[in-house]
Amino acid sequence: MSIETVFTNARLVLEDQVVFGSLVVRDGVIAEISDQRTATGVDMDGDYLTPGLVELHTDHLEAHYSPRPGVRWNAVSAIQSHDAQIASSGITTVFDCLRLGSDEDDGFKVGEMRAIADALASAREENRLRADHLIHLRCEVSASDVLDHFADFRTDAQVRLASLMDHAPGQRQFQTMEQYTLYYKTKRGLSDEAFAHFVNRRVEASARYSETHRKALAEACSERGITIASHDDATLDHVEEAAGFGVRLAEFPTSIEAAQASHDAGMSVLMGAPNVVRGGSHSGNIAAADLARQGVLDVLSSDYVPFSLIHAPFVLADEIDGLDLPAAIRLVTATPAKTVGLDDRGSLAVGKRADLVRVRRETGVPVVRSVWRQGERVA
């Protein structure tokens, strides 16, 4: 027997317009969309009904698993805490970032990320999760052991996205030593001597490993059908290299030149939703809103603040001429879904998964009132 739910008196945020009407869910799938109000059903009281948000890059699980330096929390408990915050923010599909490649002072050991992935699989099997969780491997190509870490995931079907990143100083995210000093020396309280030693190790490791590891990881991902993301591209050479590796997602480009070239090459350009909400990058790089004004912003990520993913589209729709709410919502729904090949979700359309978010927003910060995943209420 079919299970049917009718949502009515809603502002339906479709891919190209907002329609005041009703939506019917049948067996977890959107079955009907109408511009008429029905006599019965769940009354949305004029609230927005958007597709469930699709999050491609969040480090938030790591913060729950390791809430303090050297502290490791129970993995299932960390996952459930993370999942609850994700779902209550309107995110119904999340790519949890797992960091591969040890950092000499606060990295994870070989096997730790594998254990989290196993816990994630167990939590899914035991029906503990509200959102649909997949894995995004953040591969630090300058780390000597990144390939060893990656090998732990060679048969894991949860892995659908991998980013190739190099955080060595003097390039990409940290093109100036001023930025790098603030982020590492000041944040970690290093002495001048310790910081100089730290920088030298990072530069030497990048020179030794990055090129070889980037190529090996790109080849492995291509063979397995894992979507590849570049990270912090700053120059046209970076973009050309990414295109050669078949990159589909350009994460956090650090120059407008690189963002424009990535977009022109057919990659989806991703920037942080916190960047939008704050009005700029925390590390002094380009503002996401500037890319939106130039038409080269394709995807938003909550990065380190889950709720920013529903907040930022409303900010952009308010502030950017020519960018309406449906276009802004596409940045967190349809486009990220399409970029990673999830064609069954990301929009309010007949036949799509009934991943839905009820949002009330008159002014300022929106309120997520309810969330459904495949027609089942999860928040």
Looking at residue 180, what is its pLDDT? Answer: 59
Give the long-range contacts of residues 253-256, CB within 8 A, separation 24 or more.
253/286, 254/172, 254/173, 254/175, 254/285, 254/286, 255/285, 255/286, 256/286, 256/290, 256/291, 256/294, 256/296
Please report which confidence band the pLDDT of residue 110 belongs to, taking 50, 70 and 90 as the band edges.
confident
Model pLDDT for residues 179-189, shown as the tens digit of each residue: 555 556 555 65
Please report which confidence band the pLDDT of residue 348 belongs to, taking 50, 70 and 90 as the band edges.
very high
Sorted by where each begins, the domain ranges of the chain are 53-343
Looking at residue 46, what is its pLDDT? Answer: 97
Mean pLDDT of 135-155: 93
Q: What are phi and psi of 166, to 5 degrees?
A: -140, 110
Please report which confidence band the pLDDT of residue 282 belongs to, taking 50, 70 and 90 as the band edges.
low
Mean pLDDT of 63-85: 94
Please report which confidence band the pLDDT of residue 200 belongs to, taking 50, 70 and 90 as the band edges.
confident
The superfamily in CATH containing domain 53-343 is: Metal-dependent hydrolases (3.20.20.140)
Looking at residue 309, what is its pLDDT? Answer: 98
Whether 119 has a pLDDT exceeding 80, the answer reads: yes
Mean pLDDT of the chain: 91
Model pLDDT for residues 229-265, shown as the tens digit of each residue: 999 898 999 999 999 999 999 999 989 999 999 999 9
Nearest partner of 225 among 340, 58, 95, judged by Cα? 340
Looking at residue 204, what is its pLDDT? Answer: 78
Looking at residue 281, what is its pLDDT? Answer: 72
Question: Could you give the CA distance from residue 249 to residue 162 in angstroms, rounded to a whole number?
Answer: 10
Please report which confidence band the pLDDT of residue 197 belongs to, taking 50, 70 and 90 as the band edges.
low
Q: Which two tokens stand for residue 370?
A: 């309810």
The pLDDT > 70 percentage for the chain reads 89
Whether 10 has a pLDDT exceeding 80, the answer reads: yes
Looking at residue 375, what is its pLDDT? Answer: 97
Looking at residue 52, what is its pLDDT? Answer: 98
Question: Could you give the CA distance from residue 115 to residue 367 in angstroms, rounded to a whole number?
Answer: 35
Q: Collect all residues with Cβ–Cβ distance below 8 Å to 251 and sequence separation of at least 6.
A: 57, 163, 229, 230, 231, 232, 270, 301
The kind and range of the H/E element at 315 are helix 308-319
Whether 351 has a pLDDT exceeding 70, the answer reads: yes
Collapse the DSSP code of 268 into the 3-class scheme (helix H, G, I; strand E, B; otherwise coil) and give the result: strand
Whether 286 has a pLDDT exceeding 90, the answer reads: no
Q: Collect all residues with Cβ–Cβ distance below 8 Å to 170 and sequence separation of at least 6.
A: 177, 180, 203
Mean pLDDT of 279-296: 84
Looking at residue 350, what is its pLDDT? Answer: 98
Higher local confidence (pLDDT), 161 or 209: 161
